[in-house]
């Protein structure tokens, strides 16, 4: 499935906080005025992609070589890029920062897998000639990464720019500077405990951001570099087992962490997706429920007040397959303590509380030690965890996952199971674990065979 006409580049930074997110978003906004722009995000992040989607009008997709593998990265890119004029990939952390001391899951690894040109963003605040040392180091560190342009962020003045430009020339660096962006605080996006605010919570002016980038970045040079991209080809096995089922997906401000690839995978397998809000909607007539992560702690009062939590508990007791991730674990338990203690769905024998400090952050790898709504016993699943809560389980709790990497709920165990309901702190992706087992169980439930 070739996408030979698609142009692409990856916006990387020398480290976190150098401005690559704002610059990537601004370039997406500028190019989207005339072109169809498909956004991507390196890593497992759920939040940045919501801003990409709002700007480009197309769902942003994640590229993560640890969770998805190289083939999964290529497949997501090829599928997502079909028909796009430009693809803008926002990197993660510093260009070479990956899993432990490896390149896996880094922006550099994604750039090498896709053979995509890289634009390097440098924070120039407080440096001049040292910028040349940074660029030279990044160029020479891994010759397999194709850095084709430089954007200088937080430039202080024309003289500051000239000092850096001349330093690069003196160092024999012939990679072009395609942008010199002055500091502008009005484009910062507010943050909270799980990262930036979601796109629907932020009213940043897209047109103003696009104008700003067009003023300070050579868009023609950027398009030329993107044109050097030669798209990969991948022949998919398009045949999927088909399941005639309806899946209820919790989708609101409390449950909003989902991968577009998951929705697409479910649809390709014949599932009809029915979106609902556990805060304000009745549980729809469905054959299974999927609850993603998000911010149930911010809406605990509304979740307690909604009768939907009782409907979900009755569905669970009836044997309906229910799968939840992270925030869903807090909701499916008996209670959640934030500013007060709120009653939740009561499906799982556990209670959770917010702690005010980070409890787990990083990639996970789990072995399934029993059958569950999402996986058969013995399967190895990769994902990630990121939470500020702790969960205390009943003494007879059953755990589906034994973690080979990660923290989980308790002593390296994750995936709390009750009835045909399972919820974990681990977020998963269909490239690591397809939802076929979940759909199979939903099909059995629909037919009254569960």
The helices-and-strands tally (H runs, E runs) of the chain is 13, 25
Alpha carbons 333 and 445: distance in angstroms, whole number: 23
Q: Find all residues with CB under 8 Å of 317, minimum gap 6, and list them.
A: 419
Is 202 within 8 Å of 44 (Cβ atoms)? no
Specify whether the CB–CB gap between 22 and 242 falls below 8 A.
no
Catalytic residues: 326
Q: Burial code of 31-67, b = ≥16 C-beta within 10 A, e = fewer?
A: bbeeeebbbbbbbbbbbbbbbbbbbbebbbbbbbbbb
Place of tokens 């609101």: 252
Q: What region does 293 belong to: left with phi over 0, alpha with psi -120 to 50, or beta?
A: beta
Picking from 44, 130, 47, the residue whose alpha carbon sits closest to that of residue 427 is 44
Within 10 A of 171 (CB to CB), how many other CB atoms are there?
Answer: 15
Is the distance from CB of 242 to CB of 439 less than 8 angstroms?
A: no
CA distances from 387 to 222, 340, 355, 418 (A): 37, 19, 10, 22
Contacts of the segment 93-99: beta carbons below 8 A, 24+ positions apart: 93/13, 93/15, 93/16, 93/43, 94/12, 94/13, 94/14, 94/15, 94/16, 95/12, 95/13, 95/14, 95/120, 95/138, 95/145, 96/138, 96/141, 96/142, 96/145, 97/15, 99/66, 99/363
- In angstroms, the CA 110 to CA 63 distance is 7
d(C-alpha 393, C-alpha 329), whole Å: 11
């Amino acid at each position: 499935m070739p996408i030979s006409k698609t142009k692409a580049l990856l916006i990387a930074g020398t480290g976190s906080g150098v401005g690559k997110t704002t610059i990537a978003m601004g370039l997406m906004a500028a190019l989207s005025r005339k072109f169809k722009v498909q956004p991507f995000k390196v890593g497992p992040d759920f939040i940045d992609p919501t801003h990409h989607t709002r700007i480009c009008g197309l769902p942003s997709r994640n590229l993560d070589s640890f969770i998805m593998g190289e083939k999964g990265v290529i497949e997501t890119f090829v599928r997502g890029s079909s028909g796009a004029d430009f693809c803008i990939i926002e990197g993660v952390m510093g260009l070479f920062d990956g899993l432990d001391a490896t390149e896996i899951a880094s922006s550099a690894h994604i750039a090498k897998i896709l053979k995509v040109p890289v634009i390097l963003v440098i924070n120039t605040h407080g440096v001049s000639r040292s910028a040349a040392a940074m660029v030279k180091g990044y160029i020479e560190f891994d010759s397999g990464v194709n850095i084709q342009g430089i954007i200088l962020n937080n430039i202080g003045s024309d003289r500051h720019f000239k000092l850096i430009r001349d330093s690069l020339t003196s160092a024999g660096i012939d990679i072009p500077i395609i942008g010199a962006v002055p500091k502008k605080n009005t484009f910062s996006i507010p943050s909270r405990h799980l990262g930036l605010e979601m796109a629907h919570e932020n009213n940043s002016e897209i047109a103003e951001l696009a104008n700003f980038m067009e003023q300070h970045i050579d868009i023609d040079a950027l398009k030329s570099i993107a044109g050097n991209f030669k798209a990969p080809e991948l022949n998919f096995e398009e045949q999927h087992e088909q399941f005639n089922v309806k899946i209820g997906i919790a989708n609101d401000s409390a449950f909003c962490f989902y991968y577009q690839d998951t929705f697409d995978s479910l649809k390709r397998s014949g599932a009809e997706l029915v979106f609902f809000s556990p805060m304000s909607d009745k549980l729809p007539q469905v054959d299974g429920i999927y609850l993603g992560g998000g911010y149930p702690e911010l809406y605990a009062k509304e979740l307690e007040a909604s009768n939907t939590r009782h409907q979900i508990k009755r569905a669970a007791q009836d044997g309906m397959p229910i799968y939840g991730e992270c925030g869903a674990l807090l909701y499916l338990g008996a209670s959640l303590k934030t500013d007060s203690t709120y009653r939740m769905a009561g499906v799982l024998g556990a209670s959770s509380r917010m702690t005010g400090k980070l409890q787990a952050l990083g990639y996970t790898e789990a072995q399934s030690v029993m059958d569950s709504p999402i996986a058969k016993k013995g399967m190895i699943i990769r994902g990630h965890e990121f939470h500020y809560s702790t969960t205390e389980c009943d003494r007879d709790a059953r755990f589906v996952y034994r973690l080979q990497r990660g923290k989980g709920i308790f002593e390296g165990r994750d995936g709390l199971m009750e009835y045909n309901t399972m919820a974990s702190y681990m977020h998963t992706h269909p490239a690591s674990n397809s939802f076929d087992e979940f759909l199979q169980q939903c099909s059995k439930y629909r037919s009254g065979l569960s």
